[in-house]
Amino acid sequence: MAVSEAAPPIVSQRLRPLPRTAWERLPPGPRGLPVVGSALAYLRSPLRTVEQAHARYGRAFTLPWFGYPLVWLIGPEAHRLLLSEQPQRFLWRPALANLIPLLGEGLLVTDGAEHDRLRRLMLPAFQRQRLDAYLPIIWDYAQRTAAHWRPGQVVEINAAMRVLTLNVAARCFLGVELGRDSAALSRAFFAMGPYLELQWPFHLLRLALPCTAYGQFRRGLRQLDAFVYQLLATKRADPDLASHDDALSALLRARDTDGTGLTSRQLRDQAVTLLAAGHNTTAHGLSWTLYLLARHPAVLAQLLDEHRRVLGGGVPTPEHVRALTYTEQVIKEALRLYPPAWAGARVTAEEVRFQQYVLPPGTTVAYCQWLSHRLPDVFAQPLHFLPERWAPEGGETHPPFAYVPFGGGARLCLGMAFALLEMKLVLAALLARWRLVLVPGQRVVPQPTVTLAPRDGIRFRVEPA
């Protein structure tokens, strides 16, 4: 999902711990272990830790983390506070410090005027006319993926979707066909993951050895940077740059009011942000959707019936895609149950009050789509996969900010419409040709790190449709 927040909360670094009187004004929570608090329990099992705290303390709780508070606020009102109501009182960059080594000054990890400036520069790449132009590109790559499979083949779907969505992001946003580079870049992103997933203070340990997470991160980063800087050099030397309409070409041409453009480093950061955010979460969203469809044959049958009625086996047009309403319901329900951006965080820039609690400046505050999307007083039968809850007529009604797989407010995911378009097209292309049967005996477990991925992947046996 292009340019989407998709990071677990981390504790911001303070100059000094909070006094006891300030802790007393925070939401309640477990005491945890001496020194580390709840950190070890969270690192062993993030979902279980927040689920247990939510069950015991309700929709506002505090996890102690090496002497600092990590405040979690759950539900629609918490989302409204953090995403829309008082956005100027919360900072993104300190809460996403673990992503800065990769993204630098990319759109996702900037605040204030610089964020607004970058968002304005990127916005044309996600407008409706551009989305319509992306449609044949996405369809072509999805068709190539489907054509590559063979009957009886076992496919690890999350790895396959990561390669597919990386190719799509590179072509649509950077204007480049990856070709042989696609598998290598996918491996580079994958290799960087273990270091980016480290929480404070563990990410401060930076031993650049071949066997360490940081060493693997540096190796992957060198490979990624070499690709991006070479691409920038090629584009700058292209006499037809003005005719290219991909996002990176537009950023190369962009000028501020004083006539200055973005530096090479700034361009690199935006390109990496577009690649990283533009493929990883979408790949996970597709994997979870295919997993749920394989477990719910009646939903799959209804989805396939819509594909036959609307697409008729032909090449989709923008009008066809907009008519895939049940497919969109399926995707929305999959993103409710398994949101790739499973949690988000902010750091308070000043004192913030929420209900009876007082959050002092510098407090890391997290919200959690995994918990909020499963609240029984908000979603009927919250653990069931029910695409009909999203039906335009006869579906459920939910309070504002109850459902936030793409965030919300002024920093709503810029690529939300692109992600939904890509997921619709990929599902249609793959399922027109193949039936994906879950390999028996595997245990599919969500792993909440930077994004919500299947821990050991999801293996399907490919059978003809």
| 8, part of any domain | no
pLDDT in tens, 421-457: 999 999 999 999 999 999 999 999 999 988 999 999 9
For residue 149, pLDDT over 70 is answered with: yes
- Average pLDDT value for residue range 81-96: 84
Distance CA 428, CA 434 (A): 10
Those residues with Cβ within 8 angstroms of residue 314's Cβ, 6 or more apart along the chain or in another chain: none
| Residue 102 belongs to some domain of the structure | yes
Give the pLDDT score at 316. Answer: 94
Cα–Cα distance between 182 and 185 in angstroms, integer?
A: 5
Residue 13 lies in a domain: no
Please compute the mean of the pLDDT values over residues 178-190 and round it to a whole number.
83
Give yes or no for residue 212 having a pLDDT over 70. yes
- In this prediction, residues 279-287 reach a mean pLDDT of 94
Statement: residue 196 has pLDDT above 50: yes
Q: Per-residue pLDDT averaged across 221-249, rounded?
A: 90
Angle at 421 between CA 415 and CA 423, to 5 degrees: 100
Sign of the Cα torsion 385, 147, 279, 199 reads positive
CB distance 126 to 172 below 8 Å: no
DSSP 125: G
Is the residue at 290 inside a domain? yes
Strand 68-73 relative to strand 364-368: parallel, antiparallel, unpaired?
Answer: parallel
Position 200, amino acid:
W
Q: How far is CA 106 from CA 25, 30, 192, 262, 332, in A?
A: 35, 36, 17, 12, 27
Please, what is the average pLDDT of the chain?
Answer: 90
Residue 119 to residue 101: CA distance in whole angstroms: 20
Whose structure tokens read 């050099």?
233
Measured distance CA(154)–CA(439) in Å, rounded: 8
Please indicate, yes or no, if residue 1 is contained in any of the structural domains.
no
Handedness of CA 358, 359, 361, 367 (dihedral sign): negative
Structural domain count of the chain: 1
CATH number at residue 152: 1.10.630.10
Tell me the residue range of the domain where 343 lies.
20-464
Residue at 218 is within a domain: yes
What is the spatial distance between Cα 8 and Cα 191, in angstroms, rounded to a whole number?
18
Return the residue matching tokens 């810029």.
414
287 within some domain: yes
The pTM score is 0.92
Helix or strand holding residue 367 (H, E): strand 364-368
> Does some domain include residue 6?
no
Prior bond of 201 cis (ω within 30°): yes
Tens-digit pLDDT profile for residues 295-321 = 999 999 999 999 999 999 888 999 999
Contact 180, 165 (CB under 8 A): no
